[in-house]
Chains A and B, each alone.
Chain A
Amino acid sequence: MSATQEPATQRAVSAEIAEAAAAPTRPDGHPERAYRPYRSTALRSPQRPLVVTPPSLTEMAAPVFGAADVAPIDSDLTRHHAGEPLGERIIVTGRVLDGDGRPVRHQLVEVWQANASGRYRHEGDQHPAPLDPNFTGGGRALTDDEGRYRFVTIKPGAYPWRNHTNAWRPAHIHFSLFGTAFTQRLVTQMYFPGDPLFGLDPIFQSVTDEKAQQRLIAAYDHDVTQPEWALGYRWDIVLDGAHATPPDVDGA
């Protein structure tokens, strides 16, 4: 596999996306790691099958985070600098649940995102869009008793990347989640409803099941919207849940 291939056209990548979408979907809704339309998977996806093994006692537990780890201001990304960031102020809230519908309580939720112009505060971001001196783009929160989290931020912009010619990422916020077991760990991305780039984006389309794709998209919620201040989005996250309870020690 050569590293100096000509970048593909969107048309060619879209054909690959359609081909992958026709293959059987995984029952858990997760993407296949080897997904041709997303070029960087070529050398970074294992070729051997994963080895199926029961989780250890370590893997059935998860790190614990608390008030010492997360300050209240960490969840308001618009207040990390002296001035207000540019862009459309939004509130993003929802619940973190396990697969059995139980809330994931007092657990860490982390986000990071581009600014309103679609630029990340990162040396590797080559997009010629302006940085915002009043926006860094990283946030943390702990879920409450009902598994609820809440962030105040600005709506990130779409941005170009070099997967293929004229490749653009739909606007998204990266999310990192912990459950009560290490096996529930999840890193994902939240998207905004109605984005015209969904059909063209290999990362969004790597989730090939349409119903599963919908689970990556937040809903606009007017009850979350605050008058004269910010638009509201609601997004619930469901983690793998089957190993949330350790095995019965007295059992056979």
Chain B
Amino acid sequence: MLDLTPSQTVGPFFAFGLPFDGGGDVVPMGTPGAITLHGTVRDGAGVAVPDALLEFWQTGPDGRVPVRPGALHRDGRSFTGFARVPTDRAGDYRLRTLRPAAPSGSRDAPHMAVTVFARGLLHHLFTRVYFPNHVEANAADPLLAQLDEERRATLMAVPDGGVTGPGYRFDIRMQGTGETVFLDLSAHGLAQPPAATTETPA
């Protein structure tokens, strides 16, 4: 194993480096089945975070993980499954996409993978957006199943239909009351051997 390059904060000045035109338009306006996902990022004091950057990565409604290039310069037809949106002065973000489906054979309920970057965040955070209508799949989801009701709620998009069509709200609380569930998906987390295989001589 090579030693990893450590993470550093995205800082406050990423605006001309990372966001790109149409970064939140995973599908064009008017696409059948399009949904909007929006929300507010807040810090431990409940104050809006105006300099966060969120990335979303997802399957399409066919349950396939996209393999087509073109997320930065979209051709308007291919579903690339990737969005990158900075928060605005009010800490709000918004994207337009399609509902994800679970890949066949997957134990996971339909979800979007999310990465949170911000000034003051030395290492990005992973979380997920789930959708409340998938009652059975959500009940069987390995992550959701290990959370209590309150924590689980932080990963659920809340339907709030608006003038632009079906919409969902997904707020992110970086710390404190209602803190979003953030994930350890790393090898380090998984490297801990399951208890059953750790045999200690009696």
B-binding residues in A (CB < 8 A): 1, 3, 27-33, 35, 38-48, 50-59, 61-70, 97, 99-101, 108, 110-112, 114, 120-122, 124-125, 136-140, 174, 176, 182-183, 185-189, 203-204, 206-207, 211-213, 215-216, 237-243, 249
Known contacts A31-B7, A47-B176; is-contact A58 B188 (Cβ 8 Å) = no
- A99 near B70: Cβ-Cβ < 8 Å: no
- Determine the distance from Cα of A32 to Cα of B191 in the docked complex, in whole angstroms: 19
Given known A45-B121, A62-B57, A203-B8, contact A112–B16 (CB-CB < 8 A): yes
Closest Cβ–Cβ distance, residue A35 to chain B (whole Å): 6
B5 within 8 A of A: yes
Q: Is B108 an interface residue (CB 8 A)?
A: yes
Chain B residues with a Cβ under 8 A of chain A = 1-18, 43-45, 47, 49, 51, 55, 57-59, 65-73, 75, 80-82, 100, 103, 105-106, 108, 111-113, 115, 117-126, 128, 142-143, 146-147, 174-176, 179-192
Q: How far is the CB of B106 from chain A (nearest CB, A)?
A: 5
Interface residues of chain B: helix, strand, loop or mixed (majority): loop
Known: A38-B120, A212-B6, A238-B5. A64 touches B67 (CB 8 A): yes
- Once the chains bind, are A46 and B71 in contact (CB under 8 Å)? no
In contact, B17 and A97 (Cβ under 8 angstroms): no
A139 to B180, CA, bound (A): 32
Q: Is the CB of B17 within 8 A of A111?
A: yes
Best-buried of A41, A46, A139, A186 by chain B (most CB within 10 Å): A46
Give the residues in chain A near B65, CB-CB below 8 Å: 57-58, 61
Closest CB in chain A relative to B79 CB, distance in Å:
11
User: Which A-B residue pairs are the 5 nearest by beta carbons?
Assistant: A112-B17, A40-B120, A66-B69, A242-B187, A44-B120
Q: Which residues of B contact A182 (CB under 8 A)?
A: 57, 113, 115
Taken together as a complex, chains A and B put the C-alpha atoms of A58 and B107 apart, in Å, by 12
Whether A41 pairs with B179 at a CB distance below 8 angstroms is: no
Contact status B70-A46, CB under 8 Å: no
Closest CB of chain B to A7's CB: distance in Å?
16
Closest beta carbon of chain B to A204's beta carbon, Å: 8
A33 to B192, CA, bound (A): 21
Interface of A, helix, strand, loop or mixed by DSSP: loop
Q: Is the CB of A43 within 8 A of B186?
A: no
Residue of A at shortest CB range from B80? Answer: A63
Q: CB distance A185 to B124 under 8 Å?
A: yes
> Max chain B CB contacts within 10 Å: which of A59, A63, A120, A186?
A63
Contacts of A65 in B (CB 8 A): 69, 71-72
Q: Which residue of B lies closest to A181 (CB)?
A: B185
A-B residue pairs in contact (CB < 8 Å), sample of 19: A30-B7, A31-B7, A31-B122, A31-B123, A41-B121, A41-B122, A47-B179, A55-B185, A58-B57, A58-B59, A63-B57, A99-B187, A120-B16, A122-B15, A136-B16, A138-B17, A188-B7, A215-B3, A240-B4
CA distance A216 to B143 in the complex (A): 33
Are B4 and A33 in contact, CB atoms less than 8 angstroms apart? no
Contact A56 B106 (CB under 8 A): yes
Distance to closest chain A CB from B153 (angstroms): 14
